[in-house]
Amino acid sequence: MMKDNLYKYLLMLGDNSMILGHRLSELCGHGPSLETDIALTNISLDLFGQVRNYFQYAAKIKGGDSTEDTIAFLRYDREHYNCILVEQANIDFAHVIGRQFLFDAFQKLQLEQLVNSKDETIAAIATKSLKESKYHLRFSGEWVKRLGYGTEESHGRMQEAINVLYPFANEFFVETEIEKEMQLAGIGADLQQIKEQFDQVVSEIFTLATISIPDVKPRYAQGKSGMHTEQMGYILSELQYMQRAYPNMQW
Amino acid sequence: MNKEWPIFEIFIRSKNGLEHRHVGSLHAADSEMALENARDVYTRREEGVSIWVVESINITASNPENAGELFEPAKDKVYRHPTFYKLPIELKHI
ipTM of the complex: 0.74
Q: pTM for the complete prediction? A: 0.89
pLDDT of residue A247: 92
Spans in chain B with pLDDT lower than 50: none
Q: Is A3 on the interface with B (CB under 8 A)?
A: no
3-state SS assignment for residue A88? coil
Report pLDDT for A148: 97
Q: Which residue segments constitute the domains of chain A, with CATH numbers given?
A: 2-245 (1.20.1260.10)
* Residue A91 buriedness (CB in 10 A; 0-12 / 13-18 / 19+): middle
For chain A, residues with pLDDT lower than 70 are 1
Q: What is the pLDDT of residue B87?
A: 83
Pick the residue from chain A with its C-alpha nearest to B45.
Answer: A42
Query: What is the model's pLDDT at position A1?
Result: 62
Pairwise CB contact (< 8 Å): B40 & A146: no
> Contact at 8 Å (CB) between A219 and A167?
yes
Listed by number, the residues of chain B in 26-85 with a beta carbon closer than 8 Å to a beta carbon of chain A are: 26-29, 32-33, 36-37, 40-41, 44
Compute the distance between CA of residue A238 and CA of residue B37 in angstroms, rounded to an integer.
29
Using CA atoms of A46, A50, A52, A55 in order, give the dihedral in degrees to the nearest 10.
-150
